[in-house]
Each structure stands twice: as structure tokens, then as C-alpha cells.
Structure 1
Amino acid sequence: MGSDQHYPEEAPAHRVRVEGFRIARTTVTNRDYAAFVRATHYRTVAERPLNPADFPDAPAENLVPGSMVFTGTPGPVDLRHLSQWWAWTPGANWRRPFGPGSSVGDRPEHPVVHIAYEDAQAYAEWADARLPTEAEWEFAARGGLEATRFTWGDEPEAAGEARANYWHGDFPWRAAPGYGSTAPVGSFLANGFGLFDMAGNVWEWTSDWYQGHQGDECCIPANPVGGSREGSINPAEQFAVPRKTVKGGSFLCADSYCQRYRPAARRAQMIDTGMSHIGFRLAGRLTITLAESSRTPF
């Protein structure tokens, strides 16, 4: 797991051991999530009213249900300031991924987005499954390759190849045709385990609380999990919100800005915040069968 050659939060590279497990071939789609909502009448975090007491300094116009939406800029910008391409959008949620007036009606096979951690967890419980640990996710993403840079090997895309849905073009204002947004799941080649979109498209929730990698010179940990809820909180942030680890990168990962569409890449995500580039896939124990849950898409 991890890498000593890229971003600091990925180090140190270290060995772990995981027991056998199952993991879904694709992320959960809008079609999948719609079936869950029809069956349970579940409301996602982005659809619920906000409590003003939880956001004492927030403008009143922002205290309505909504989510963070990527908005491309009109031209080149200083890449140190991501607020230029992210906008809090009232009314944005999994049903309306770009805000009021948008719909997932023509995007049934795209990954569901604007999903907070508890929204992903609720779906997993309904499907008699769970979210993968970070170690499981990274093992699965590597597709049987040992410590390679990408899910397909060490070399970047060659001319004419299309390996993953990450940003092709000039970020964040001009994407190449066919890029700059989510793509239907399975649009790109699977990895060595037959899993799709383990690089790019959407970041994926794992069950691990975020913490720095803990290299161990003594032994190889078995089935490691993240740290504690309290330890995942960043004291420098305005709101003390616990964070989970997300993996895989998204359609917004650009080589000029964020080359995180790699198995080792990782990021901390506040559990109460969904965004237009975060989704999830399911995992389960090795012995699970379709007879136990006809909804579990393994």
C-alpha cells in the first residue's frame, strides 16, 4: 500500500495483508440508488434542512439543502485556490447533480454522486453489504499488479488509449471532448480483477477513518483499518467534522493539478459532505451468495 514517490499522505509504502473479500465490479449508479430510495424513502444529507445552530457564521442564503458542485472556470486560473471551481449549490443532490433544473433521468448508469458517508452506509446496509476498507480497496484497485503507479501498470496513457476518466485538457476550464464530467460506469477498460473505474470517474468512500499511514518495520498487519473518529478530525478546519478516507481520484484529476487517479492516492473527506465527484462501491465477505441478498451486485 501507499507510495514514497508521490504525495506525502501516501507515504510510507508498506505491506499489509487482507483476507479474501468480494467487491462490486462498478460503483453504485443512479439507477441503483433510485431503487434504494423507492424501497426505503430515504433522504440523503444533501436533501435535508440545515440547522442554523450548526453553522453560526454561514450566510442565511446558504442554509438550505444543497451540495458542492464543480463549475468550470471561463479561463486559466491560479490552481492554488480551488474555491474558483467549486460552488455551494442550493438544491443540488443525487437527483439533481448540477442543481435545480438538472436531473439524473438521462444518466441512469452514471455513478451516483452528492453522497455523504451515511448515505453510502445506508445503501450498503440495505443491500446486505458494506463499504470496503482502504486496504481492501487499494488491493482491488491494483488488479494483481505489485506496487505499480497506475491500475494498468507504470506507464501513462499512450496516444489513442483511453484508460480512465480523469481530466484531459486544460484544468479547470477546458476539457477534451468526452471528459470533464462523470461517465457511465464501465466506459473504460477493467483492471486485472475485472473491476471498472478504480481510477478516475468518482472518488469512492471507504470505511476507514482517515489517518496517516502507519509503516511497521516489525510485521505485516492483517486486515488493517483506519484510526479513530476523533483522530480523523483536522483541528485546523473551521468545523470539527470527522473524516473518512476516499480513494481512486475522479474526473477532475488532472496531471497538471492532481494526479490522484492512482491506487496509492488517498484523501480525507468530511463525512457530512457529498460532492459532485464522490460516489462509492460495495464490498462483502467472501462467502456471500446471491441467495443471501438478490440486491448485492457482485
Structure 2
Amino acid sequence: MIRNQTSTIVVLCAMLAACQQPAAKQPGRAAVPPAVDKLNPMVLIPGGTFRMGADDDSGMPDEYPAHTVQLDSFYLDAHEVTNAEFAAFVAATGYVTIAERPISKEELMASLPPGAEEPDSTMLLPGSLVFVPTKGPVDLRDVTQWWSFEHYADWKHPKGPGSDIKGLENHPVVHVSWEDAQAYAKWAGKRLPTEAEWEYAARGGKSGVPYPWGTEAPQTGKPKANIWNGHFPYENTETDGFYGTSPVKSFPANGFQLFDMSGNVWEWTADWYDARHYASEPAETHNPTGANAPHDPDDPANPKRVIRGGSFMCSDEYCRGYRVTARMKTTPSSGLENLGFRCARSIR
């Protein structure tokens, strides 16, 4: 954990936000191995009109008001990008993720609040945020109690030194920043989905339902998604069969034949996060691309991008991010053990 600093999520995220040096080798539109597209075939999402946002009282404030959105048809990856797919990208391009790059003292100081102590050398080492369960109940408003910045944690070492992705080739890649996801998408000839595209696809052709599969709560009946079962963040009964991430396609697909649109890992979208954005949208929009600029009233100094879908850490006690309208946000340079992505492609 961080020494000589107050243990706050602001400091943790500042460490990640500071680590934005150029990659060792930036990928262009290189030839994508055919095996990658075979691993994750894209699904045609037919265009249509839907109500975006929460129409009932189950949502958070930034999910209102619901508004009508019309989308053209587009393609979306059937599941989250896996470790095997990301490894193919790295092998082809030599790309180095943000979590693998060291942090400079000047960049870190610029990201910290005025008057913060000068960091010691351990704070400049590369790394990412890893989930560490607590020993018992805690204040769920204090996320620093279960997040730890682990030196040398990255996509190849999801728990830090000593861990690896052997046997996890078909799990979603994690510890990837928005910039990392963008680099992969460019290489693959794709892009990140807009927030509107993501929600429309997650609904699977259904309207007025809270989950990709319909109305039944995820904790009832057969497991429907990889979420937290039990008491967060100290007891996971693994009712769904998994403690952390699960292999993609472990649970039934939605109506569009998309997997893991609920749970497993959060997914990056293309859009800036603005908590007020829905209120400023017209009553009807066509192919919206989100807010023109970011705004997070809880942390206005750090711009955020929208992430969607929830993760293996979501439960009714904490976050409920597996709902189709649920929105979350994080800084573009952030890497987390429960954050990945999938790609979209426009129809030309």
C-alpha cells in the first residue's frame, strides 16, 4: 500500500492518472491475426429505438431522465476481450500498457492535491489497483478498504508479482486503461462502443427490463451472471461458481447473443462521463456520442470516462452495476482488477 500518504482513493487514482507516458511502441493498423476474430466473432446489432436510462425508481441520480435514442445498426464483440486476444495484440505491436510503465515524480506531484508530501520512490513504481477482501463488515462508502495499489500488477500479473494468466487465457483481460483499450481497438480495426450503443446492446431487444435477461433478480434461480454472492467485501459464497473473473461465455447470452453484458468485469465505453448529461439531452436523439466534456461532481478535478455492466464485485449490498441502466465512471488512465472492455465496429 502507499507509505507516507493518507490512504485515500484520490491518491490511488492520482498515481494511475500520472502514469501516461507514451507506450514503448504505438500500434498502427497492423494486420490482425485471423485467429483473433475467430476467438471473438462480432455480432450484428440491428438498429432501432429505445428508452435510455432508468424509467423506474431503482436507478441512481445520473440515470435520469430516461430519453428516447435512435441508433443505426452496428457490430459488437460477442464477449469481452480476453487475455488471449490481448496477448496477440501485444505480440504483434509491442504495446506496453499504462500499468506496466513507471510513474515520474513530476507527473505524480501534478496529480496530487496542493501541499501533498513529496512521494517516496516506492510510489513511482508501475502497478495497478487490486481487490483485497476485508476480514469483516466495513463502511461501504470507503472504497480504499478493499482496493490496494499493487506494484507490478498488470494484465499479465492480475494480482501482482507471483501471479500470472496461465489458465486464464479465456478470461477477460483486466488492468487495461481507456487508452490501452483504444489502442487495441485501433489495431483490430474497431472502436469502443458509445454508452448508448452499449446500453441498447445490453438490453438484447427487450424494453422496460432491469437486466439483460429480463426481470428476475440475478440472485434467484439459476446463475445468470458473475456477480458477488454473499456479503461484500468479505464473504463471497460463490453461488455462481466464481470468486473473481470467469471465462467469457460462462453464462447464457442475451437476446442479441451477447455474453457478459452483466457482471464479470466493467467495460469501457467511448463517452466522457457527465453526471448531468441525461438532463441536457434532447427528448429524442440519433446516434448520441455522450457529453462534450467530462463532469464528475464528486471529483471535478479528474475527468472520467463511462464504464458499464458491473463486475464480479457487484451485489445488492454494493453498486448493483449489473443493471442495464447502471452507470459508473473512472479516469481514462485507471487500471482495475475488475475492468476490461469489448469493441464495436460501425457499418460502412
Q: TM-score, normalised by structure 2?
A: 0.78
| Alpha carbons 2:174, 2:335 under 8 Å: kept | yes
2:157 maps to what in 1? Answer: 96
Quote how far apart the aligned CAs of 1:233 are: 4.7
Aligned-partner residue type, residue 28 of structure 1: V
Separation in structure 2 between the aligned mates of residue 251 and residue 236 of structure 1, nearest angstrom: 24
Question: Which deviates the most, 108-117 or 48-57?
Answer: 48-57
Partner of 1:226: 290
Q: For the Cα contact (< 8 Å) 2:63–2:278, is it kept in 1?
A: no
Q: Which runs of 4+ in 1 moved over 4 A?
A: 215-219
CA distance in 1, matches of 2:101, 2:302: 18
Q: How does 1:132-151 map to 2 (within 5 A)?
A: 132-151=193-212
Matches of 1:69 and 1:13 in 2, distance apart? Answer: 34
After TM superposition, the structure 1 = structure 2 runs for residues 1-298 of structure 1, keeping only pairs within 5 Å, are: 1-4=52-55, 5=57, 6-56=59-109, 57=116, 58-157=119-218, 159-177=220-238, 178-211=241-274, 212-215=276-279, 219-228=283-292, 231-234=293-296, 237=299, 240-287=301-348
Cα distance in 1 for residues equivalent to 2:130 and 2:281? 42
Quick check: which one's helix share is greater?
2
- 1:207 & 1:138 partners in 2: Cα distance? 13
Structure 2 SS opposite 1:106: coil
Please say if residues 62 and 278 of structure 2, whose CA atoms lie closer than 8 Å, have aligned partners that are also in contact. Answer: no
Shift of 1:169: 1.1
Equivalent-residue separation in structure 1 for 2:216 and 2:297 (angstroms): 38
Secondary structure of the 1:17 match is strand
- In structure 2, runs of 5+ residues without a counterpart are 1-51, 110-115
Change (3 A) 1:160 1:221: closer
Structure 2 counterpart of 1:79, one-letter code: L
> Tell me, which stretches of 5 or more residues in structure 1 are unaligned?
288-298
Contact 2:204 2:256 in 1 (8 A): yes
Q: Percent identity, please.
A: 48
Q: Answer whether contact 2:232 2:318 (CA < 8 A) is retained.
A: yes
Judged with a 3 Å threshold, the aligned counterparts in structure 2 of structure 1 residues 222 and 43 are, in CA distance, closer, same or farther, namely same
Distance 1:141 1:217, change over 3 A: closer
TM-score, with structure 1 as normaliser: 0.91
Q: Deviations over 1:215-266 (max 9, x none)?
A: 47964110001123xx31547638x332111000111101111111011001
**Counterparts of 1:107 and 1:81 in 2: how far apart (Å)?**
30
Distance 1:27 1:220 in 2: 30
Q: Which string of whole-angstrom CA distances, capped at 9 and with x for unpartnered residues, describes residues 171-191 of structure 1?
A: 101111323311000001100
Task: Describe the SS at the equivalent of 2:284.
Answer: coil
d(CA) in 1 for partners of 2:304, 2:268: 10
Higher RCO (Cα < 8 Å, 6 or more apart): 1
